Structure 1
Amino acid sequence: MDAYSAPQVPDGTGEHLIAVPATASGAEGARRVLSVLQAFSPQRHTLTARELAGLTGIPLPSMYRYIALLRETGLLAGDDHGAYRLTPRIIGLARAAEAAETFIEIADPVMRDLVAECGETVIFVRLIARVPVCVHRVESAHHLRATFEPGQSLPLLRGASGRVLLAGLPDRVRRECLAPLAQTDPAEAERLEEAIAKVAARGWATSEEEIDRGVWAASAAVTDGQATVAALTVPSPLVRSPSALQERLLGQVRAAAARLSALIAVQGPVSADSAEPAR
């Protein structure tokens, strides 16, 4: 199993159990950011901060923070008159969404087979604008289970899914993703780099209580024959995945990811401008 384990967090956003209360602040912030993007249309392609606040109901001071975040990520651009517009990077996200739809059609039966085999929820995670996003899930029938909503983001620097996706990135892009951590905690960034190198070599990762209390997860890389395009992940309550059963569950995830990779490879490699694939 993984020698690396990120600092544990009692409760967070990502691989969480229904029975474990989680804060909604992160989800609310994400909803607000999305509402800012959705305020634009062909008829309203340029908007001021005040106009965006009026359309979304977000207070103006908060709106300026969201605008700054979207400009920092390259999704929004402003002019000298205080008006903002979407950037062409949105086109890349749209193409990534189209690719995700294609992948979902291929992945769904494989994921259902894996749920039937292991009895746990299975999620399909893609990196969109350098954020791991659950684009599809197939839930288990257990009352106590890890749960996700399609479209939900996961931490990039914590958890098995994040490490698998980081391992699939080009070196330059990965360094950029790790740069903030390297500035605040160089030792932790170095440990994470070493762990990612191991994940890149073997194609899988595991995590235990890195994102939420009581959850162990196994994740394996899904490729298109040339690059990592997604992570196939099974988050499981520790009460049903003690150490004696983890190897079996990991093997099931790896086998399903290999099967899915073979199916996706038939479709051909993902276009470089529809995602941010590994090389």
Structure 2
Amino acid sequence: MQSIGRAFALLETMAENAIPIGISQLSTLSGIPLPTVHRLVRTLTELGYLRQERSRRYVLSPRLIRLGDSSERTLTLFARPRLTGLVDELGETANLAMLDGDQIVYLTQVPSRYSVRMFTEIGRRMDPHCTAAGKAIMAGLPPGSALGILKRTGMPSHTATTITDRDRFMAQLAEVARQGYAVDEGEQENGVRCVAVAVHDTPVRLAISLSGPATRMTDELLRRAVPLLTDTARALSADLA
């Protein structure tokens, strides 16, 4: 059992870092003794779940995609009824997003009933600094990890309201962590407002968001939405436990 747990810990460490990693670095990051890491990496490579690069560092193998696709379908199965409840209660589009490497990827969505509504293509990737879901997730990361993402993405501007100053963004993350929710004030797309909360205690970094035209996503709607999003995130966390 200990070996199985450590093998998955290594895979999760590699997934979180998303770069080729050497044995010594993997031992340091995971906290697993070097001889044990060496043995487990050799076994995982022989089984086809890791691949050794020419640099002698290791990356996750494409064989894991099959497992990922299956788990993503399971996640969607649990999430959609929760998102549907939000749409029924609040009227706007509800989304489930995940931090994958340095980007936010949208996993599933339940659209608003309005004829004019927000639509985000499932699988679409965005820089996290300009999305409410990205902010909600990053607020739960260690400051060094959040800064690393900002440095690697470069914080490009998408609209006039996109935050591109690193210090200002980190200050906003501290506020998000304090209040428990994040807001995108048209920072990804003009005229679109979004509010999101993180889903805690799950194997991957998730957030649930509600998005719609700024004219309908009023402050009053946000006040109604935050407790409902928070309750939905807790329920989904329990579903996935």
> Normalising by structure 2, what TM-score?
0.65
Which deviates more, 91-100 or 247-256?
91-100
- Say whether residues 1:123 and 2:100 are aligned partners: no
Distance 2:122 2:99 in 1: 13
The aligned counterpart of 1:159 is 131
Distance 2:120 2:153 in 1: 26
1:214 is matched with which residue: 191, 204, 208? Answer: 191
Q: CA RMSD in A?
A: 3.2
Name the SS of the counterpart of 2:205 in structure 1: strand
The aligned counterpart of 1:262 is 235
Distance 1:165 1:236 in 2: 20
TM superposition shift of 1:128:
1.3
Instruction: Rate the CA distance shift 1:157–1:94 in 2: closer, same or farther, 3 A.
Output: farther
TM superposition shift of 1:190:
0.6
Please tell me the residue identity of whatever aligns with 1:170: P
Unaligned segments of structure 2, at least 5 residues: 1-17, 21-50, 157-163
TM superposition shift of 1:182:
7.8
The aligned counterpart of 2:179 is 202
Counterpart mapping for 1:131-150 below 5 A: 131-150=103-122
Which deviates more, 189-198 or 94-103?
94-103
The aligned counterpart of 2:74 is 102
Contact 2:199 2:236 in 1 (8 A): no
Instruction: Rate the CA distance shift 1:171–1:97 in 2: closer, same or farther, 3 A.
Output: farther
Distance 1:197 1:166 in 2: 10
Question: Greater RCO between the two (CA within 8 Å, min separation 6)?
Answer: 1
Counterpart mapping for 1:38-49 below 5 A: none
Please tell me the residue identity of whatever aligns with 2:212: S
Identical amino acids, percent of aligned pairs: 24
Deviations 1:81-118 (A, max 9, x none): xxxxx931656766555443332222111110111111
Distance 2:67 2:196 in 1: 25
The aligned counterpart of 1:231 is 207
The aligned counterpart of 1:247 is 220
TM superposition shift of 1:266:
5.0
Counterpart mapping for 1:178-193 below 5 A: 178-180=150-152, 188-193=165-170
TM superposition shift of 1:77:
7.9
Instruction: Rate the CA distance shift 1:94–1:87 in 2: closer, same or farther, 3 A.
Output: farther
Counterpart mapping for 1:53-72 below 5 A: none
Contact 2:82 2:236 in 1 (8 A): no
Q: For this pair of structures, how many residues does the alignment match? A: 186
The aligned counterpart of 1:67 is none
Please tell me the residue identity of whatever aligns with 1:194: A
- Say whether residues 1:114 and 2:86 are aligned partners: yes
Please tell me the residue identity of whatever aligns with 1:223: H
- Say whether residues 1:74 and 2:19 are aligned partners: yes
Instruction: Rate the CA distance shift 1:95–1:156 in 2: closer, same or farther, 3 A.
Output: farther
Contact 1:156 1:163 in 2 (8 A): yes
